[in-house]
Amino acid sequence: MRSVADASACVVNEDSLRMNEIDEIPYMVVKKDGRRETFDRNKVMAGLLRACEKRPVPSSKLDSIVNAIEKYVQESSERERPTSKIGEMIMRRLKELDKVAYVRFASVYLEFEDVSEFMTELKHLVSNARKQSSRAQVVEGSR
């Protein structure tokens, strides 16, 4: 005859088994063409390192970006995120961090069809940088 304690132990074991099974399900990313791949933080870091090659970007900043991306993927209740959102997050962070690294990453991620698309993005980036510089000078002059 089983006791109540034995029965509750079985329930606890079943719950922990389910949790272990859930932990074994990998986090996935959904590519532009619909394919799914296991999320790989090393792949994200490799892309960042390529974009930041020979740039004055501290590795701690790259770690921070990768950690934020990994957290974003892990917070998904479906255990998957589209690479389009991940790429946008990376570009936003790189744009704030280093414009050259941003352009390098964007040129691969956005898959520019020709030089004119690439130039359009560069002009947009330069225009925004000038606007920010002008605003900073106005603020500086009013002090």
| pLDDT one-digit tens code per residue, 31-72 | 989 999 999 999 999 999 999 999 999 999 999 999 999 999
Where do the DSSP E strands lie in 16-103?
Answer: 28-30, 36-38, 80-82
Q: What is residue 136's predicted lDDT score, i.e. its pLDDT? A: 53
C-alpha closest to that of 74 among 25, 108, 122, 114: 25
Higher pLDDT, 118 or 60: 60
Q: Indicate the pLDDT class of residue 8, thresholds 50, 70 and 90.
A: very low
Q: What is residue 90's predicted lDDT score, i.e. its pLDDT? A: 95
Higher pLDDT, 119 or 97: 97
Tokens 């209740």 found at: 77
Task: Give residue-wise pLDDT tens across range 30-39.
Answer: 998 999 999 9
Higher pLDDT, 7 or 95: 95
Q: Indicate the pLDDT class of residue 129, thresholds 50, 70 and 90.
A: low
Q: What is residue 1's predicted lDDT score, i.e. its pLDDT? A: 52
How far apart CA 124 and CA 135 sit, in angstroms, is 17
Q: What is residue 134's predicted lDDT score, i.e. its pLDDT? A: 59
For the segment 74-87, the average pLDDT, to the nearest whole number, is: 92
Q: What is residue 85's predicted lDDT score, i.e. its pLDDT? A: 93
Instruction: Count other C-beta atoms under 10 Å from residue 62's C-beta.
Output: 20
